[in-house]
């Protein structure tokens, strides 16, 4: 594997006694978009500020291209303006009293860029983000989306080693957000940028990231590709945070023929293969987790193995699909279905679970 562009080694940052970043280690490869996804207050912005040098860690080391930028135990701390970082802050932080040109020129001026090349680089950055021709405008005479592009141009203007983006799309409306998401991805691929991206929006993380970390209370719960994290959540927090989860309570039953979870309702039995059943013993109470999209709705009939009897409680017609509010084995949840399959309120149905994709835990 290539030398990582960014590496965290057991980094800790406390505010008072509260650890905002609590012993975090990870690395980002060249040309990768790595996303931190997590709820408000979990330490995402603090992690970015540590990379930029706007916060000093209490412990651990941060390296860029193999060189330590921050290592408190070794007395190393490189000042923010000596780091090759481009940052878009959570609230753009563009200067209202400056023109678009001067906003983007700022990082170059701070670094003493000669005026012979400064203008060309600023105009090139504005061109890259689709703002050519607007350089003379006051920064406040722009739409939210355009201001966001100015912030992006300013972060890109001096070819940073790492681009740090802190919820850069959170102030935009849904449609523009989707468009900018694609544009950022296209820019990143064109210029082979290495990006550390922060969001609390699951869809954004899933569509943008090469790899992502799910962050909870200053710790990385899981790191992996979007598909790995979604399909094999390592902890209940990850499963809950990434999309919807449906859970059933049941009891492990075993005989010489096999192992299954008894859901108690209407004799529903969920068969477990050797791999899943290994660590459980007969009579143990468990909780079974599945994604709504892994459940198939079938018309009423006698339940077979891996099926649960259910009832439709409510029907919501949403134009392109139908949401069924369903009760099954003591649980209430919503299943989306195509319009081809129609059931009325009060209808008895069966749900077929996908045993391959279940997660089971003791309770
Ligand atoms: N300067 C500070 N002084 C004291 N506490 C701070 C400071 N900055 C952050 N914190 C605390 O550290 C924790 C992590 O904050 P951080 O801003 O990194 O969260 P976040 O994940 O970016 O949240 P959000 O999604 O709301 O932006 C929070 O509990 C926050 O209150
Ligand atoms: Mg934040």
Mutate to test the pocket of ligand 1, among 22, 24, 40, 45 (most ligand atoms within 8 A of CB): 45
My answer on whether 270 and 224 are in the same domain is no
My answer on whether 151 and 172 are in the same domain is yes
Residue 92 CA, ligand 2 centroid: distance in Å: 12
**Spatial contact of 180 and 145, defined as CB atoms under 8 Å apart:** yes
My answer on whether 227 and 115 are in the same domain is yes
My answer on whether 299 and 343 are in the same domain is yes
Boundaries of domain holding 217: 6-241
In a domain, 1, yes or no: no
The answer to whether the CB of 40 is under 6 A from ligand 1 is yes
Task: Among 180, 209, 241, identify where a domain stops.
Answer: 241
> The domain spanning residue 316 has which CATH number?
2.40.50.140
Can you tell me the distance from the alpha carbon of 299 to that of 43, in angstroms, rounded to the nearest whole number?
A: 47
My answer on whether 177 and 275 are in the same domain is no
**Spatial contact of 13 and 175, defined as CB atoms under 8 Å apart:** no
In a domain, 325, yes or no: yes
Residue pLDDT tens, the chain, 363 long:
789 999 999 999 999 999 999 999 999 999 999 999 999 999 999 999 999 999 999 999 999 999 999 999 999 999 998 898 888 887 777 888 999 999 999 989 988 889 889 999 999 999 988 899 999 999 888 888 888 889 989 988 888 889 999 998 887 777 778 888 888 888 888 889 999 999 988 889 988 999 999 999 999 999 999 989 988 888 888 988 888 888 899 999 988 878 899 998 667 888 887 767 777 888 999 988 888 999 999 999 998 989 999 999 999 999 999 999 999 998 999 999 998 889 999 999 999 999 888 888 888
My answer on whether 198 and 80 are in the same domain is yes
In a domain, 223, yes or no: yes
Closest C-alpha residue for ligand 1 atom 20: 41
My answer on whether 261 and 159 are in the same domain is no
The whole-number pLDDT of residue 235 equals 86
The answer to whether the CB of 67 is under 6 A from ligand 1 is no
My answer on whether 162 and 307 are in the same domain is no
Residues in the chain: 363
Structurally, how many domains does the chain consist of?
Answer: 2
Mutate to test the pocket of ligand 1, among 12, 16, 41 (most ligand atoms within 8 A of CB): 41
In a domain, 266, yes or no: yes
**Spatial contact of 286 and 253, defined as CB atoms under 8 Å apart:** no
My answer on whether 311 and 327 are in the same domain is yes
In a domain, 314, yes or no: yes
DSSP per residue, 5-24: SEEEEEEEEEETTEEEEEEE
In a domain, 190, yes or no: yes
The answer to whether the CB of 332 is under 6 A from ligand 1 is no
My answer on whether 197 and 300 are in the same domain is no
Can you tell me the distance from the alpha carbon of 249 to that of 330, in angstroms, rounded to the nearest whole number?
A: 8
Residue 54 CA, ligand 1 centroid: distance in Å: 13
> The domain spanning residue 196 has which CATH number?
3.40.50.300
What ligand is nearest to the CA atom of residue 49?
1
The answer to whether the CB of 46 is under 6 A from ligand 1 is yes
Residue 202 CA, ligand 1 centroid: distance in Å: 19
In a domain, 161, yes or no: yes
Give the full edge-to-edge strand order of the sheet including 246-255: 269-272, 258-262, 246-255, 285-290, 359-362
The answer to whether the CB of 152 is under 6 A from ligand 1 is no
Task: Among 241, 274, 305, identify where a domain stops.
Answer: 241
The whole-number pLDDT of residue 322 equals 95
Helix (H) or strand (E) holding 248: strand 246-255
Task: Among 241, 262, 292, identify where a domain stops.
Answer: 241
The whole-number pLDDT of residue 1 equals 73
Closest by Cα among 32, 30, 69 to 49: 69
- Inter-CA distances, 65 with 6, 11, 29, 69, 362, Å: 6, 17, 10, 10, 43
In a domain, 220, yes or no: yes
Closest C-alpha residue for ligand 1 atom 26: 40
pTM: 0.80
My answer on whether 97 and 237 are in the same domain is yes
3-state secondary structure of 179: helix
Give the full edge-to-edge strand order of the sheet including 67-71: 18-28, 6-15, 59-64, 67-71, 76-77
Residue 38 CA, ligand 1 centroid: distance in Å: 12
My answer on whether 259 and 224 are in the same domain is no
The whole-number pLDDT of residue 230 equals 87
Q: Buried b / exposed e across 202-226, counting CB within 10 Å, b at 16+?
A: bebbbebbebbbbbbebbbbbbbeb
């Amino acid at each position: 594997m290539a030398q990582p562009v960014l590496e965290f080694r057991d980094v800790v940052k406390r505010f008072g006694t509260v650890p905002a970043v609590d012993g975090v280690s990870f690395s980002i490869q060249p040309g990768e978009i790595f996303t931190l996804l997590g709820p408000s207050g979990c330490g995402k912005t603090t992690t970015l500020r540590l990379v930029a040098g706007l916060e000093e860690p209490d412990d651990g080391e941060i390296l860029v291209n193999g060189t330590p930028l921050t290592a408190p135990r070794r007395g190393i701390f490189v000042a923010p303006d000596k780091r090759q970082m481009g940052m878009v802050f959570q609230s753009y932080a563009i200067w209202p009293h400056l023109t678009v040109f001067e906003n983007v020129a700022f990082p170059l001026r701070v670094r003493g860029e000669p005026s012979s090349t400064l203008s060309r680089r600023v105009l090139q950055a504005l061109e890259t983000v689709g703002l050519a021709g607007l350089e003379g405008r006051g920064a406040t005479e722009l739409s939210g989306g355009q201001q966001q592009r100015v912030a992006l141009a300013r972060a890109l203007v001096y070819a940073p080693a790492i681009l740090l983006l802190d919820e850069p799309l959170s102030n935009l409306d849904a449609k523009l957000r989707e468009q900018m998401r694609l544009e950022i991805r296209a820019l990143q691929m064109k210029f082979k940028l290495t990006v550390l991206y922060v969001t609390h929006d699951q869809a954004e993380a899933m569509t943008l990231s090469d790899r992502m970390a799910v962050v909870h209370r200053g710790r990385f719960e899981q790191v992996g590709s979007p598909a790995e994290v979604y399909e094999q959540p390592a902890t209940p927090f990850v499963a809950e945070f990434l999309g919807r989860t449906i859970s059933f309570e049941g009891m492990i039953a075993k005989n010489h023929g096999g192992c299954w979870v008894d859901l108690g309702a209407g004799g529903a039995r969920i068969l477990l293969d050797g791999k899943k059943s290994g660590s459980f013993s007969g009579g143990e109470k468990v909780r079974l987790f599945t994604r709504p999209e892994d459940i198939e709705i079938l018309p009423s009939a006698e339940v077979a193995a891996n099926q649960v009897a259910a009832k439709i409680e409510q029907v919501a017609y949403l134009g392109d699909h139908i949401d069924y509010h369903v009760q099954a084995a003591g649980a209430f949840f919503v299943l989306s279905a195509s319009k081809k399959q129609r059931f009325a309120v009060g209808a008895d149905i069966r749900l077929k679970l996908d045993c391959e994709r279940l997660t089971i835990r003791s309770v």
